[in-house]
A and B are shown apart, each in its own frame.
Chain A
Amino acid sequence: MDYLFVFLFVCLGVAMVLGGILASYLLAPRNPTKVKQSPYECGEETIGSSSINFNVAYYLFAILFLVFDVEAAFLFPWAVVLRELGIIGLIEVLMFVLVLVVGLVYAWKKGVLEWES
């Protein structure tokens, strides 16, 4: 039943936005002009395409995030049964975290965490 609710809430979110767009379609004026549809840049004419190159650092952070977020997901079951596993569980997780911390230190030394590089 919980997951039926989750599904229904997703439907509710979609319906809410589409309903809102429909309402504004019916109620709001529509008068698109070329100037109105052009990208807003504080009154300046846009130069070139808006699909510009952005800093590669974003990509590197995304990869790092992937590793650590998956790690956090692995830690959830351990955190729940921490008392039962006791010290052995803690040592195992410590080794697991250590491997990832080595990775973080490597990235740090390589300068991945520096925005300017």
Chain B
Amino acid sequence: MNLISTPLLAQADPASAGAAPSMERVPTVSERAAEALQHGIWGAAFYIVIGLVAVLIVVSVLGLVMSYIERKVAGHFQCRLGPMRVGPHGILQSLADGIKLLFKEGIEPGHGDKVIFIGAPIFSITATILLLAIVPVAPGIQVVDMNVGVVYIAAVSGIGVMGILMGGWSSDNKWSLLGAMRAGAQMISYEISLTIAILVVVMFSGTLRVSEIIESQQQGWWIWRGHGVAIVAFCLYLIASTAELNRTPFDLPEGESELTGGYHTEYSGLRFSFFFLAEFANLFVFSALATTFFLGGWLPFHIGDYEGFNRVMDILPPVISPLFWFGIKCTALIFLLMWFRWTFPRLRMDQLMRLEWKVLLPFGFANLILAATVVLTGLYFFPTAT
């Protein structure tokens, strides 16, 4: 398992160390592939193909499902019905949209940089796929689970900015350029707050491996156990991830009323759909990661060693339970992010930058130091093993 963090935890934090070995570790797809490699190349190839195909399907299905949910939620928030025509309650609407986009002409701008224009969606979609690979849905339902998982997340999520900057720059369009510059400034600024919020959880759990962060929350999710600092970190994470996703109230890069489409103004047909796909898959990824870090991932709602209550929460059979709990937390967060969109008005560029650099960043650092003192003094809830 993890060479660095486990022994440290064992001597420093009896809570997490006591909880971790009690559960059998289910190997991820990548670990299964590594194991199969010892018996022959074909077994490993089988698992590799499973991993790749699974992520490919998840990206496509997420794009379809999320755009449908988004439109339905938007509709009902405005006392409309949303899409109703294609299929029962319009569930085939996004599929029809996808087919339509496939048959649309992909217009290339006359003067733009063609290579970068084609390359931009590659960067966007690759960043999303790489992030999806590490999302822990349930024990074993995770493609890669590396020992530097959190650093990997921080590193890979930065690639998405490249795609947007490249797309806006190469389009030879003023809207696109302005949208891309705004997106770049916004996404890199809020990335700092995002990282600092995640750092709080890393401190609490003492590991960078995503599945171990979840296992460390057996006694209770970090948002409850963290004595307030985790709640502040969770709010920071939510705000920063909304900005990273370019969603309202931080949707300046593609504010329709001022920049038409922002960085993807000149993209049409299937090329546009890749930006679209990446954006919706990212919505899922950031919600799933918030679930992992703060809400205990696939773990059911437990309160310390309160046996009676915990047993009621464990009532689901062990196969369904992780999927159910992960699904319900993740869906709730996605709904919350969609709710934001119909609640807050869009910020102005100077307000956006002031919020990050003068409010969130100092707050984030103060919270980080406070969290370190909380961890060192052992002040968080349920510090002992049952």
Which residue numbers of A lie inside 8 Å of B, CB to CB?
1-6, 8-10, 12-14, 16-18, 20-21, 23-25, 27-32, 34, 36-42, 46, 50-52, 54-55, 57-58, 61-62, 64-65, 68-69, 72-73, 75-76, 79-84, 86-87, 90, 93-94, 97, 101, 104, 108, 113-116
Contacts and interface: CB of A to CB of B under 8 A. Distances in A.
A82 B376 contact: yes
B260 interface: yes
Interface stretch (B64-72, B103-111, B300-308): B103-111
B126 A6 contact: no
Nearest to A101: B365
A2 B203 contact: no
Nearest to B121: A17
Main SS of chain A's interface residues?
helix
A24 B185 contact: no
B244 interface: no
Nearest to A64: B357
A2 B144 contact: yes
23 contacts: A1-B30, A6-B130, A28-B104, A28-B269, A29-B105, A38-B109, A50-B111, A50-B172, A52-B174, A54-B177, A57-B185, A57-B353, A69-B192, A69-B195, A76-B151, A76-B199, A80-B4, A82-B375, A83-B8, A97-B368, A113-B357, A115-B350, A115-B353
B177 A50 contact: yes
B230 to A, nearest CB: 14
Contacts of B133: 5-6, 9
A6 B208 contact: no
B239 to A, nearest CB: 17
Contacts of A21: 106, 118, 270-271
B191 A40 contact: no
A27 B99 CA distance: 11
B215 interface: no
Given A28-B105, A34-B110, A65-B191, A80 B208 contact: yes
Given A69-B191, A104-B361, 18 more contacts: A2-B144, A2-B145, A14-B126, A20-B270, A20-B274, A23-B270, A24-B106, A28-B104, A37-B110, A39-B173, A40-B173, A40-B266, A54-B177, A55-B181, A72-B154, A79-B202, A97-B369, A113-B357
Interface of B: 4-5, 8-9, 11-13, 29-31, 33-34, 37, 48, 51-52, 55-56, 59, 102-111, 118, 121-122, 125-126, 129-130, 133, 143-146, 150-151, 154, 171-178, 181, 184-185, 188-189, 191-192, 195-196, 199, 202-203, 206-208, 260, 265-266, 269-271, 273-274, 349-350, 353-354, 357-358, 361-362, 365, 368-369, 372-373, 375-376
Given A30-B105, A80-B207, A93-B372, A68 B192 contact: yes
B103 A27 contact: yes
Q: Which of A41, A46, A61, A64 has its CB near the most chain B CB atoms (within 10 A)?
A: A61
Nearest to B208: A80
Contact of A2 (B11, B30, B102): B30
A80 B266 contact: no
Contacts of A23: 102, 270
Main SS of chain B's interface residues?
helix
Smallest CB-CB A-B distances: 4 pairs: A13-B126, A115-B350, A37-B110, A83-B12
A40 B260 contact: yes
Contacts of A72: 154, 192, 195-196, 199
B289 to A, nearest CB: 16
Nearest to A113: B357
Contacts of B195: 69, 72
B102 A24 contact: yes
B176 to A, nearest CB: 8
A76 B364 CA distance: 15
A88 to B, nearest CB: 10
Contacts of B105: 28-31
A22 to B, nearest CB: 10
Given A50-B174, A65-B191, A39 B266 contact: yes
Q: Which of B174, B189, B196 has its CB near the most chain A CB atoms (within 10 A)?
A: B174
Contact of A52 (B143, B177, B373): B177
B118 A80 contact: no
A72 B375 CA distance: 18
A31 B173 CA distance: 20
Contacts of A32: 107-108
